[in-house]
Amino acid sequence: MSNPTQKIALVTGANRGIGLETARQLGRQGVTVIVAARDQGKAQEAAGTLQAEGIAAVPLKLDVTSSADIQAAARFVEEEFGRLDVLINNAGIFAEKQFGGNNSASVTQAELRRTFDTNFFAVIEVTQALLPLLGRSAAGRIVNLSSVLGSLTLHAKPGSPIADAKNLAYNASKTALNAFTIHLADALKGTNIRVNSAHPGWVKTAMGGAEAPMEIVDGAKSSVALALAEDAPNGSYTHMGKPLPW
């Protein structure tokens, strides 16, 4: 069992990009970080990188689309730590052929199903499997990595900053994820668990591309703040502490 005063966090898709930086920033705050990744070797490599920086990092193989992996992850957290304080649902994919424009008339069923499997259905399954462990925390925090591209309000507004980026599979998966945030936050009101959606920003990652204006170090800040806030909101959709329109 772990030190009851040291927070335990699990970050999915933590082997690179925003996920790895999120784990790093949590670790620098004294949190023990479970570095979850689809590939065991990549999880170990990422955890080793953080350990070399003096961070308490533990690797975990977790393909979020695998029910067997999810159940194994829940057992691992139970056996090693006995509880979970923070869950960052960071793992996500962009499966469409190109970014931008409007592909609503041409997006394929394969692109839609693959995107929703990872960005929506997997998040729900992972969260539900770990909820009993989060319930043992004095201040459980669930952060769903969403996107401003999930905002129906902004997509419906001509001339908005995202008006020309209508990739249906990705955008709709994040809109659905926001719905999960609202619903779960309501289901858990009155408990010690808070559930929120965070937009990291347009960040220089493998998904965001080199032309993105934000650095990875800044892309992790929104979710880390929600994860560690003593008086965290519940059911919010924010970027850098500022609310986004649903």
Enzyme catalytic residues? 170, 174
Give the C-alpha separation, 2 to 76, whole Å. 13
Instruction: Give, as one character, the DSSP assignment of residue 237.
Output: E
Helix %, strand %, coil % of the chain (to 5): 40, 15, 40
DSSP string covering 130-158, please? HHHHHTTSTT-EEEEE--GGG-HHHHTST
Neighbours of 65 (CB within 10 A): 17
Neighbours of 243 (CB within 10 A): 10
DSSP string covering 51-93, please? HHTT--EEEEE--TT-HHHHHHHHHHHHHHTS--SEEEE----
Give the C-alpha separation, 18 to 204, whole Å. 9
